[in-house]
Structure 1
Amino acid sequence: MPTAFTRVLGSGFVTGEHCVKNEALSKICDTSDEWIRERTGIEQRYFVEEGTTTSDLGVRAARKALEDAKVSPEEIDYIVFATMTPDYYFPGCGGLLQTKLGLANVPALDIRQQCSGFIYGLQVCDALIRSGAAKRLLFVGAEVHTGFMPWSKQAFDLITDKAQGELPKDEHDFNTKFRDRTSLFGDAAGAMVLGPTDNPERGLLGFVLHSDGSKAESLYVASAGFAYRPYVGGDTHIKEARYVPSMDGRTVFKMAVSKMPEAVHEVCQKVGVTVDDIHMLIAHQANLRINEAVQKALKLPDERVYNNIQRYGNTTAATIPIAYDECRRNGKVKEGDLVCFVGLGAGFHWGAALMRE
């Protein structure tokens, strides 16, 4: 039987070093601030300096969460790390973060559920704490998406204002092929420190999670996998930039705007509350148009929905902890409030979680 319930002890987040506004992307491909805002709601995103890794960002966010929780690194007895952009194909980022933080040889688990990684990871964290396997757990969601970008060093220097000038036309045209995806992503990390509580009315209350692999190729990376020999895919994959995510935007949109509201209703029914009881909905920040459609389907007013994709872009496993940390710090989520997390990502994987602050 469960011996404890799970609560958030502290949170924190960081972004990449370079703020890149939409206008900057027009230097390297055929796009504009208006084109990006109309389709995604994004105004800017952050990119890391070359050499900064996903585990590096995870460490920075973890330190903020530990400080907020007033928990020392020595007290952490489990690590869960969610990302789809690990430093290496293997090992995962959990052990790298453990070493960089100077932690003891505690278990480090890696979660690979892409944009729904933080919700899946929360359920894993909850199970570990409820079972007594962990008492002070560090949960990190971090991404360095710039590894997906098919841009030259000159292009990166142009958008980060390190250089002036123009790209060759053929390079500019090549970059334009991927503008619908490369304009979406940002580099960032969010973290939570989780621990037990004996109050069953506080903390994480319930989850619903689902998967459907039948539409996997509607959102996937068509390279760097063991379907190929060698697994990196060879020169053709590099030349064609198959390492950039391939996306059927219409299918993704339809899945998200139908499955996410369904998951919210399902988790509310499971816990014994209604959508009207939710004080704050924090959805994965993939596209503002998706989140607006989800909000409309759930009939929630603006003051009970939080979006920050405008400032950070899609940071995959980091979007929910970043939004949650901002809500805590700006007073939009207060003690006793019912918070709902919801998201859908590649796989497809989707789900929702309820938490009483």
Structure 2
Amino acid sequence: MPRLNAFALALKSLRHKPLTTAVNLLLMAVGVAMMSFVLSASQQLEDNALRDAQGIDLVVGAKGSPLQLILSSVYHVDIPTGNIPLAAQAQLQQNRLVKKVIPLALGDSFKGFRIVGTTTEYVAHYGGEIAQGKMFDGPMQAVLGAHAAATTGLTAGSRFVGSHGLGGNGDSDGHGDQPFEVVGVLRPTGSVLDRLVLTPVESVWQVHEAAHGIDPNDEEAKEAMDADRELTSLLIQYASPLAAAMLPRAVNAQPELQAAQPAFESAKLFRMLGVGVDVLRGIAAIMLLSAALSMFVALYSALEERKTDLAILRTLGAPPRKLLSLLLVEGLLLAGAGAVLGWLAGHAALEILGRLVSDDRGLSLTGLHVAPAEAWLVPVALAVGLAAALLPALRAYLTDIATTLSR
């Protein structure tokens, strides 16, 4: 079969110069690996961000940076901008433009996992379901997300002490006299919920009031504190499209409140990150171009060395198209093998990175995810190999038998 012969000859030719073949494979693989890594990672990060912000139209918090408010209240990767009066929740709940208000009270953590004072409505918003134990129904009870529970080793019935901020370990810098009791663990949701420790808002108030020497059983002192209760932020869902035009402006007009829109702030963040992604894509494109040039030089040099061999093949009856196909198959083999190796290497690197950073940074990355944009990587690599082999293949096609053998 002619195709089989061309394929076999191309393989023998590539094995004849292993170092040159290896360099060309490496260049192609590096370019494809970088492109595959960037496409898959950026797609996953964007999908994760959109999933965590889904169904949250507005975040209301203290004055400050809107992006910081979104990062702290939606993604839980930054410190809050401050606190807002508890009265703001009732005010927004009474607004006809508002469908749902979910309160958040932040400030403490356990072994790097944020303790979030909220309601069961927050769990329901992300589709959380109890895998072990029950949902919290009173102060100082806690329900852990799947990842937080797996990492800390806490189960239903365990007790722990929270720490100030996000960096404590729950021991020396914690609220030792106000331990939490774990009453439940959630099933994995693939959202920010997996990385949180959830408790009623009253728990957060009780912990910090105790830190200021206020007895939680003292009803008189408790009533005095009610007027000064605070929350960190409120997650808002609109009741109608009209709310998008009116509510943020109304909230921002109040001296203590700020309204931030997750969709707008996330888009701004993606634009900022997009510059770095574009740079990496550019570097990957340069690597692919370098692979094409290296492949072209290698095939052209091989053609010059094998002119006599190719001429002899012609005298033995090989038609010109056979020589043309031989060089084209070599280019396609190099490009195809390099593309496959690069694609596998890119996803392997992404899997390693995901395992290294997911626990500490709250990122969810896996090498098993294939971005739709990756579908063109192999065809582009094959086109690069074909283009690199085209000129040497045409020269082989036009080889003059008499002139070549006379030399």
Give the TM interval when normalised to the shorter protein: under 0.3
With normalisation by structure 2, the TM-score equals 0.18
The structure with the largest strand share of the pair is 1
With normalisation by structure 1, the TM-score equals 0.20
The structure with the largest helix share of the pair is 2
- Pair member with larger Rg: 2
